[in-house]
């Protein structure tokens, strides 16, 4: 008689299916383990991973915490909890979880990268940059860390360093549109229109429906005095994102440069209308005098 598979064998089978994207078969193996051993920390962790993948973030957090209860010190579980908390909008709690992961494993590059992203969202770019640098020191081959490091440097006005980070991200993953888009944005800021145009074109080839890429392309073409092409790109940006104030203003500027001032007024009016509607939709600060109930 063939012996039943061990827990380790079932988990290995589950991981095989998991990597193939067959989450149903993976869950079947993990739950078989838990039927025999409800306290198995590995099975609990992998079920938590599947739950998070399916958008069940609170369930994933609860399962990961159960896994930690039966085997403390799992950096991976704290990292997963942090990712789930972030998806739930709890940035400060997510940061604490990534810190916990790094207490368990000070060389966990993924946790440093995640921690850096939280610090960026909390408006702490210098601290974020330090964490990105640590992640890259441990593992220099993660394109997302170079991309996000570049975005942080861009926000700090350190353009040359940001471009160098984007260059490295593109070398690692040349087919990620956002990196080309971000690098193009800096090149536009620097007035390097031709270089920017090449990056916008690449971003659009990879992801044709990103309105920001068409808008940025319009700016680059305007900088190159290729106004008819610029107008076509601005039109495409507005097809994809009709409420884009920058795109309306960009289109107005191009029309003015073409001597079509009356048409430009329509775009400026639309931009003002969108801005007014956006402003009126914002919640009033309860501490402001106008909101005071006395």
| Residue 288 pLDDT greater than 70, yes or no | no
Q: Read off the pLDDT band of 291 (50, 70, 90).
A: very low
Whole-number pLDDT of residue 166 = 98
Whether the predicted pLDDT of 289 surpasses 90 = no
Q: Which domains does the chain have, with CATH numbers?
A: 1-100 (1.25.40.10)
Provide the token pair at 212. Answer: 């920001």
Q: Tens digit of pLDDT for each residue in 37-88?
A: 999 999 999 999 999 999 999 999 999 999 999 999 999 999 999 999 999 9
- Two structure tokens written together for 64: 């990961």
Mean pLDDT of 125-145: 98
DSSP 219-271: HHHHHTT-HHHHHHHHHHHHHH-TT-HHHHHHHHHHHHHTT-HHHHHHHHHHH
- Residue 149 — very low, low, confident or very high, per pLDDT cuts 50/70/90? very high
What pLDDT, in 10s, does the model give residues 241-274?
999 999 999 999 999 999 999 999 999 999 999 9
Average pLDDT over residues 210-218: 97
pLDDT score of 282 more than 80: no
Q: What percent of the chain has pLDDT over 70?
A: 94
pLDDT of 109-125, one tens digit each?
999 999 999 999 999 99
Residue, of 37 and 285, whose pLDDT is higher: 37
| Percent of the chain's residues with pLDDT above 90 | 90
Say how many CA atoms lie within 13 Å of 77 toward its Cβ: 23
d(CA 146, CA 113): 10
What confidence score (pLDDT) does residue 280 get? Answer: 55
């Amino acid at each position: 008689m063939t012996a039943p598979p061990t827990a380790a064998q079932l988990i290995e089978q589950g991981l095989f299916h998991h990597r193939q994207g067959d989450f149903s078969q993976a869950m079947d193996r993990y739950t078989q383990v838990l039927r025999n051993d409800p306290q198995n920390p590995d099975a609990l962790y992998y079920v938590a991973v599947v739950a998070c993948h399916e958008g069940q973030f609170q369930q994933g957090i609860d399962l990961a915490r159960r896994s930690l209860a039966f085997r403390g010190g799992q950096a991976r579980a704290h990292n997963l909890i942090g990712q789930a908390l972030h998806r739930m909008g709890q940035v400060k709690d997510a940061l604490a979880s990534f810190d916990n992961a790094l207490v368990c494993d000070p060389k966990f590059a993924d946790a440093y990268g995640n921690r850096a992203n939280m610090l960026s969202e909390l408006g702490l770019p210098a601290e974020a940059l330090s964490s990105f640098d640590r992640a890259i020191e441990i593992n220099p081959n993660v394109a997302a860390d170079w991309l996000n490091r570049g975005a942080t440097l861009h926000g700090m006005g350190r353009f040359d360093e940001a471009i160098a980070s984007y260059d490295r991200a593109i070398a690692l993953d040349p087919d990620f549109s956002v990196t080309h888009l971000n690098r193009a944005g800096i090149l536009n800021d620097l007035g390097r229109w031709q270089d920017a145009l090449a990056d916008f074109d690449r971003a659009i080839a990879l992801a044709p429906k990103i309105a920001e890429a068409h808008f940025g392309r319009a700016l680059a073409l305007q900088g190159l005095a290729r106004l008819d092409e610029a107008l076509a790109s601005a039109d495409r940006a507005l097809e994809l994102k009709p409420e884009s104030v920058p795109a309306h203003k960009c289109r107005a500027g191009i029309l003015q440069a073409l001597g079509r001032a009356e048409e430009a007024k329509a775009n400026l009016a639309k931009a003002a209308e969108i801005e007014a509607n956006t402003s009126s939709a914002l919640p009033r600060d309860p501490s402001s005098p106008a909101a005071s109930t006395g």
